[in-house]
Amino acid sequence: MGGDSGSSPDRLTYPLPTSMNPYVGLVSSLRAAWLTGKTRTAEHRVSQLEALGRFLDDKKQPILDAMASDMRKPPFEVELSEIILVKNEVNYALNNLSTWMKDEGVDKNLVTQLDTAFIRKEPYGVVLIIGPWNYPLQLILVPLVGAIAAGNCVIIKPSEISSSTEKLVAEMLPSYLDKDCFAVVTGGPAETTQLLENKFDYIFFTGNPQVGKIVMAAAATHLTPLTLELGGKNPCYVADESDMQNVANRLVWGRCFNAGQTCVAPDYVLCSAETQEKLLPALRHAITQFFGPDPRESPDFARIISDKQFQRIRALLGSGRVAIGGQTDEKERYVVSDAPFPQPPRCWWTCSRQSLPCRRRSSGLSCPSSPCPTWTKPSPSSTAGSGRWSSGAPGAGADEQRRFWCQ
């Protein structure tokens, strides 16, 4: 479920002089704690996982309030995607930890016949987790569960863009965890740059590819293994025989969850021209059914995280002909539709394949989509390979124009 990280690629640079780095002492203290071996014991891992579960229970209301402040995220969405999902990870780790910690016997070969052969899972050491703004709790705490279960010490860097959630994590989470082994660092690109200058034993980054390249370059300096959870494109193919209303309901739910700010949300729809004509009214009906006649007043619809993201999404509206919605309210960071159906998403149709929305991953309701060219089946008497693709728009070349849906 990847999103943009809080650090801007044009402001994040690497490296800085070590003598200026304010995080050397913090990283060293966590490494010293790890070297004592205290995080390796099953008792310590269990106690920290249970403490993380208590944090989610005790601070449920502050979490709801923080995310309402950041992007007016509905309580149901917060509970589902930020709290329950993490609690499930905690419970799964607790239920399986003893099995994970056991040595795993392996078959012997000719060289190891006289040996005892097994795989023993060892913690990496000091781990850095850098989170994004779109799921600001889930995407730092789920990696944290794995890091704790594996016996590591961890530094957490939440996104500064979701500032209320960042403040909550920095002020409340440390009181539940072992302060010798876990720490939270706040700040923007400058702080992230300085943090990355230090040697870590593993880095887990969720964010955009531009910043991901910088994180990977920093990790390469120390040969640090890492996980990059980046964004991508998410096409949705709709077959002609599909139940259009059922498809529309799923598309609207997936695209509008978290106001579209989800890296795995449906990004665009591939379908025939005939299916397109059927799908549009079904989408309109689904939007009205989910969010009412005036979605602005719906408690179930979030807002775009920042003015910068709002401006980026609004700029995408010029990439094609708007079929549903299109008006914007900058003050609320909300997208409003034309009367009489004030729906938040936008549907484009017909757009150049080379346009920005069709090439770039989008996060937010203004997501591009690209349609399905038509396959003309060859006749029984035709030679093999005589079928052809034609574009979805009359008179347009296959590489020039595509019909597509976009929210």
Name the residue among 146, 129, 136 with its Cα closest to residue 200.
129
Separation of alpha carbons 61 and 386, rounded Å: 63
Separation of alpha carbons 55 and 234, rounded Å: 34
382: Cβ–Cβ under 8 A, 6 or more apart, which residues?
A: none
Q: Confirm whether 191 is a catalytic residue.
A: no
Name the residue among 247, 232, 280, 272 with its Cα closest to residue 406.
280
Give the DSSP H/E element, type plus range, for residue 217: helix 209-221
195: Cβ–Cβ under 8 A, 6 or more apart, which residues?
A: 23, 128, 155, 157, 185
Tokens describing residue 327: 């008006």
200: Cβ–Cβ under 8 A, 6 or more apart, which residues?
A: 27, 125, 126, 127, 128, 155, 219, 222, 224
Given CA atoms 342, 345, 349, 350 in this order, what sign does their dihedral have? positive
Catalytic: which of 181, 256, 263, 406?
Answer: 263
Given CA atoms 361, 227, 206, 27 in this order, what sign does their dihedral have? negative
Query: Over 72-96, what HEC string results?
Result: CCCHHHHHHHHHHHHHHHHHHHHHH
Separation of alpha carbons 100 and 110, rounded Å: 28
Q: Confirm whether 229 is a catalytic residue.
A: yes
Tokens describing residue 306: 């920042």
Given CA atoms 80, 83, 89, 91 in this order, what sign does their dihedral have? negative
Determine the 3-state secondary structure of 120 from DSSP: coil
Separation of alpha carbons 13 and 196, rounded Å: 10
What is the CB neighbour count within 10 angstroms for residue 19? Answer: 6
Q: What is the DSSP letter of 125?
A: S
- Respond yes or no on whether the N-terminal peptide bond of residue 15 is cis (omega within 30° of 0): yes
Name the residue among 132, 136, 144, 131 with its Cα closest to residue 68.
136
Which residues form the catalytic set?
Answer: 229, 263
